[in-house]
Amino acid sequence: MDAAELRDLLSLEGLRLLDELPAWESSADVVRTVATLRKAGHSPGVVAAVLSQSRLRARAVAKFGPFAERMLFTEAGLEQATRLSVAALHAGRFQRAGVTWVADLGCGIGADALALAALDLEVTAVERDEVTAAIASYNLAPWSNARVEHGTAEAADLTGVSGVYLDPARRDGAKRLRDPADWSPSLDFAFGLAERLPTGVKLGPGIDRELIPADAEAQWVSVDGDVVELGVWFGDVARPGIRRSALVIGDHGSAELTAAGDSDDADAGALGEYLFEPDGAVIRARLIGDLARSLDGRMLDPSIAYITADSPAQSPFAAGFRVLEDFPLDKRSLKRELAARRIGTLEIKKRGVDIDPAAFRTALAPTGEKSATLVLTRVGGKRRALLVERLAAV
């Protein structure tokens, strides 16, 4: 979004039209809608800005629920914004730590600042992009305890602030993300604030783990099976004795696996009757060993994140499967086996083997009325294909 589009959107005409439009539907005839609005006398700029915003609001419901109906977004801002359920957890840390005034440095469209303000904390939200700062100001307008400043994190005045939250952006051109300077503000700056104030830093879950300070609490968060962030916490907003955490949020609610450090690996052993696929947050946090022991299980292979066990179990930290058959990973024989079982709908999972699941499924040409899951992996160093069925959730 550029400044001209923002002006059209924030005009009385733009905001009124946005409120009057029906909820966006992907099947809507956009050309007809544009023609109708233009015929009603609305300018091309206003129509484009409002329809774009309507589409973004519809997408934002997944992150913001009913709050999306009164918020404004940019394409990049929505993509990078913290889900409101996760932002509420961030805010809760500051509240429990007794922090009363938080500087949200790099606030984006204001998702985390909104959650902080909703808990009656004073919030100074700082955003370097002028258009995004204006969007954040609109989103935070209902809260008198929040204000937005257009500026950089490094230049922000922290006088009186009692806690800091940062969401550093990836610098243009940064690809490997192994250098603290790959982010803006840099990780040296972000982590340096922790020497003065309780600090939380939101990072992508795939960051080089060597960059995580040894004295920080590192929490990987997954929502509905998707690992959405790594939160690095310092000082009073970090929990004593916890350095690694996997927080899993889903239909079951939320569950957390914590430890004082990376867990020791579980021993590898023979394939049992049951297979467990750890949640991505557990894998990122390197707590697979602890999970395996809690399931009375063992690793399927020392280098692969699958757990096997002899008894069924339910865990929010892993998807469970019953192993029906164990086949050599051979395309021709698998095609025959699937045909004999009339399996036409096939989910393919793979770890530890260099195979494209989509291409492999096409080659197997499954046909029939039944469905199944095929796990392509290594067992005891050998390439195997496991035909499995999901355990029913409790």
- Give the model confidence (pLDDT) of 184-217 as tens digits: 999 999 999 999 999 999 999 989 999 999 999 9
Q: Which helix (H) or strand (E) holds 172?
A: none
Closest CA to 77 of 110, 48, 105: 110
* pLDDT (tens digit per residue) in 122-156: 999 999 999 999 999 999 999 999 999 999 999 99
Average pLDDT over every residue of 238-255? 95
Q: For residue 319, is pLDDT > 60?
A: yes
Interhelix angle 3-10/12-20, rounded to 10 degrees, is: 70
**Contact assessment for residue 80 and residue 73, using Cβ atoms and an 8 Å cutoff:** no
Compute the CA torsion angle 61, 67, 69, 75 (nearest 10 deg): -60
pLDDT at position 343, please?
A: 95
What pLDDT band is residue 173 in, cutting at 50, 70 and 90?
low
Does residue 321 register a pLDDT over 60?
A: yes
Which structure tokens are listed for 345? 């709908």
Question: What are 98-119's pLDDT values in tens digits?
Answer: 999 999 999 999 999 999 999 9
Q: Is 349 exposed, middle or buried (0-12, 13-18, 19+ CB in 10 A)?
A: middle
Compute the distance between CA of residue 64 and CA of residue 69 in angstroms, rounded to an integer. Answer: 9
pLDDT attached to residue 175: 63
pLDDT for 328-373, tens place per residue? 999 999 999 999 999 999 999 999 999 999 999 999 999 999 999 9
What value does the mean pLDDT take over residues 160-170?
94
Could you give the angle at which helices 3-10 and 130-140 cross, rounded to 10 degrees?
20
